[in-house]
Amino acid sequence: MPQVLLIPDSTVDAGYHHELRVVSGDDVQPSINALSNDTLRATKLHSIQGYTGTAIIFGCTLMDGDRVKCQAVCKLVTGQKRIDNVRREYRFYSNQLKPFQGTIVPTCIGLFGGIMRNEPRACLVTQFSGARVEDLQRTPWTFREELIYSFTGLHKVGVRYGLSQRFSEKHVLLRDDGHPVLFNFDVAEEHACQFDGSKVDLTPHQRKPPRNVSSAGRSRYFVFWGQCITEEMMCDIPAVLKLAPRTMAPEVAYGMIEHRIQMFHRDLDRRMKCEGFEREGNGLVTLPSSDDEV
């Protein structure tokens, strides 16, 4: 395991590097057992579009001596609360999430700590796993289905995103091969689920668990031009057009929003058909006629 992380800082001096050591236990001070020949050097630092939050997030190329180790993402934080958060995130990667690294969660390279600019700092380093998803509603149905299975896998090992943090696109990456990756576990928490899936009574041909079991809602809005377009607003196209960028031609804006609303209603119609089954008293599920099939 690498013991030292070198981060360049041109604001101090050309060629200057901050030296962070692998974190041991709950300490973010330099480790006295760090080995100089187990050093990673961050090069080609750049900001990553779509990564937001209170931490400093940057991408880089990690060098192991003269060899490129990987493309990485570094989450650099200061302040005790944020340091505690990334320490908790690292514990998740090292324990519950370890079997999933490189598949549904990023590969964790390590947690490093030390003094930078006279302040204790911690830096969580993970392998780059793709760009952040901007709009889940625009992803294929197969992508969202795989995302649900990923959540299920995390849930089984006792990990969930904190209740105070509503799940959103900011927790999902799109890997180069088209598969989803979950990240941002500094807001995650341990969870002992009391739900027993073996006790759910599913009947033949039923396409989904009962609504009170699945709790699967459907979005009644979409985000466009940086604004939330609700289902009610879709009935008033002129009102929606007022949200378009001022530099956009009216006919272009009209065509764009009309197409997006059509997509929304098409997807919503497909979803509602899949949810339109009602369990009768005898436990059977009434299926729609063949001309109503999705």
Residue 60, beta-bridge partner list: 72
3 state DSSP class of 86? helix
Task: Give CA separation, 25 vs 90, 184, 262, in Å.
Answer: 11, 21, 54
Mean pLDDT, the chain, integer = 76
Per-domain residue ranges for the chain? 4-127, 199-279
Instruction: Write the pLDDT tens digit of every residue in 113-129.
Output: 988 888 888 999 999 99
State the pLDDT confidence band at 71, using cuts at 50, 70 and 90. Answer: very high
Give the span between the Cα atoms of 13 and 22, in whole angstroms: 24
Residue 173: burial class (beta carbons within 10 Å; 0-12, 13-18, 19+): buried
Greatest extent of the chain over all pairs of C-alpha atoms, in Å: 77
Please, what is the Cα angle at 68 between 53 and 31, to 5 degrees?
65
- 100 pLDDT above the threshold of 60: yes
Residue 40, beta-bridge partner list: 5, 64
Instruction: Write the pLDDT tens digit of every residue in 134-171.
Output: 888 788 888 888 888 888 888 888 888 766 556 677 88
Token pair 């065509």 is found at 255
Host H or E run for residue 230: strand 227-230
Give the span between the Cα atoms of 5 and 111, in whole angstroms: 9
Q: What's the residue count for the chain?
A: 294
Could you tell me which of 91, 103, 210 has the C-alpha nearest to residue 159?
Answer: 91
> Are 60 and 43 in contact, with CB atoms under 8 Å apart?
yes
pTM of structure: 0.62
Give the span between the Cα atoms of 132 and 72, in whole angstroms: 14
Could you tell me which of 45, 182, 60, 204 has the C-alpha nearest to residue 128?
Answer: 60
Q: What is the pLDDT of residue 48?
A: 77
> Are 76 and 129 in contact, with CB atoms under 8 Å apart?
no
- Residues contacting 43, CB < 8 A, separation 6+: 8, 60, 61, 62, 63
Lowest mean pLDDT among 87-91, 96-100, 126-130, 217-221: 217-221
Give the span between the Cα atoms of 85 and 188, in whole angstroms: 9
Instruction: Write the pLDDT tens digit of every residue in 196-212.
Output: 655 555 454 444 444 44
Q: CATH homologous superfamily for 4-127?
A: Phosphorylase Kinase; domain 1 (3.30.200.20)
Give the span between the Cα atoms of 85 and 186, in whole angstroms: 5
3 state DSSP class of 278? coil
- 278 pLDDT above the threshold of 60: no
- Which tokens belong to 38? 């187990």
Q: Which residue has the higher pLDDT, 235 or 107?
A: 107
